[in-house]
């Protein structure tokens, strides 16, 4: 990716998420789902640890780690997202004691501004599919953690060993959110960790069942885009239908549409 392409992508991400920052603070999928609690448990957060949450979004992971006593850096590429996260976190902790210190930083996930081996934990949840290079992010995360430190990632994944199905799923995601880059499959993610020198200690795939109307409202999709997205669900090839598991109503009739996205929870340790 050229420097100009990188700048263009940065601006696209900032526009997309700056406009809908509060949606991600309020989203139950982001604030209270299984993958959030599971990630926080698996990261074994202890008081006094110095931890970085990359692409913090609404700040839910950062808040969870601070409640466990860690000194947290909540980072994001989008300033408006950081403002929304700070407001949400301050509201949640204002009457609580024994909460770790939280600072905020505008950071590019592919170029972390920290010295090697200076952090205890790095987390990133439901964001790497927006990065120009998820592999580069993992290398950066591995670089800045101390020996014995953990990197924890949660992200949506595509079908493995089926490029046509993966292309379709990613096109579906990108139509709804133009800042979407690529959601990798599980073997890709495991190879990223291995190549970065991280030993995988936990790998888990969980289903995220979504209501279509909520999903398109999160990005305020135009009516013509909503129509195209629904058509993609209805016309999906067999391999994609097996992956997305759509539950469809008859066209024109009232009722909700549901489908599945799959999330990978991956934890690696730096030996």
CATH number of the CATH domain containing 225: 3.40.50.150
Along the 271 residues of the chain, how does pLDDT read in single tens digits? 666 666 655 565 566 554 555 665 665 555 558 999 999 999 999 999 999 999 999 999 999 999 999 999 999 999 998 999 999 999 988 878 789 999 999 999 999 999 999 999 999 999 999 999 999 999 999 999 999 999 999 999 999 999 999 999 999 999 999 999 999 999 999 999 999 999 999 999 999 999 999 999 988 999 999 999 999 999 999 999 999 999 998 776 678 999 999 999 999 999 9
pLDDT at site 18: 46
- Give Cβ neighbours of residue 156 (< 8 Å, ≥ 6 apart): 126, 129, 173, 183, 208, 261, 262, 263, 264
Q: What is the mean pLDDT of the chain?
A: 91
Domain of residue 33 covers 3-270
170-197: per-residue pLDDT in tens?
A: 999 999 999 999 999 999 999 999 999 9
pLDDT at site 226: 96
The secondary structure of 77-134 as a DSSP string is S-HHHHHHHHHHHHHHHTT-SSPPPEEEEE--TTS--S-TT-EEEEEEES-GGGSS-H
Strand partners, 265: 154, 204
234-269: per-residue pLDDT in tens?
A: 999 999 999 999 999 877 667 899 999 999 999 999
pLDDT at site 249: 83
Number of domains in the chain: 1
- Antiparallel, parallel or unpaired: β 198-211 and 258-270: antiparallel
pLDDT at site 76: 96
Please give the Cα distance from 157 to 62 (Å, whole number). Answer: 23
Residue 171 corresponds to which tokens in the numbers above? 């096109």
pLDDT at site 201: 98
Cβ neighbours of 183 (radius 10 Å): 24
pTM of the predicted structure, to 2 decimals: 0.90
């Amino acid at each position: 990716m050229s420097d100009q392409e990188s700048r263009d992508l940065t601006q696209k991400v900032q526009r997309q998420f700056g406009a809908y920052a509060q949606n991600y603070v309020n989203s139950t999928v982001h604030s209270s789902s299984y993958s959030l609690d599971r990630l926080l448990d698996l990261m074994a957060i202890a008081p006094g640890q110095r931890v970085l949450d990359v692409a913090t979004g609404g700040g839910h992971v950062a808040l969870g780690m601070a409640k466990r006593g860690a000194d947290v850096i909540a980072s994001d590429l989008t300033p408006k997202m950081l403002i929304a996260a700070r407001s949400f976190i301050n509201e949640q902790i204002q009457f609580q004691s024994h909460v770790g210190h939280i600072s905020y930083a505008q950071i590019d996930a592919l170029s972390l501004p920290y010295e090697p081996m200076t952090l205890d934990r790095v987390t990133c949840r439901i964001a790497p599919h927006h990065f120009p290079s998820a592999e580069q992010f993992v290398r950066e995360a591995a670089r800045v953690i101390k020996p014995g430190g953990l990197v924890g990632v949660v992200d949506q994944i595509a079908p493995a060993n089926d490029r046509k199905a993966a292309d379709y799923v990613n096109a579906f995601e990108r139509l709804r959110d133009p800042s979407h880059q690529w959601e990798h499959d599980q073997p890709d993610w495991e190879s990223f960790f291995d190549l970065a020198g991280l030993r995988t200690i936990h790998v888990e795939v969980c289903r995220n069942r979504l209501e279509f109307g909520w999903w398109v409202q999160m990005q305020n999709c135009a009516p013509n885009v909503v129509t195209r997205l629904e058509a993609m669900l209805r016309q999906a090839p067999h391999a994609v239908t097996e992956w997305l598991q759509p539950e469809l109503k008859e066209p024109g009739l009232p009722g909700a549409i549901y489908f599945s996205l799959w999330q990978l929870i991956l934890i690696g340790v730096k030996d």
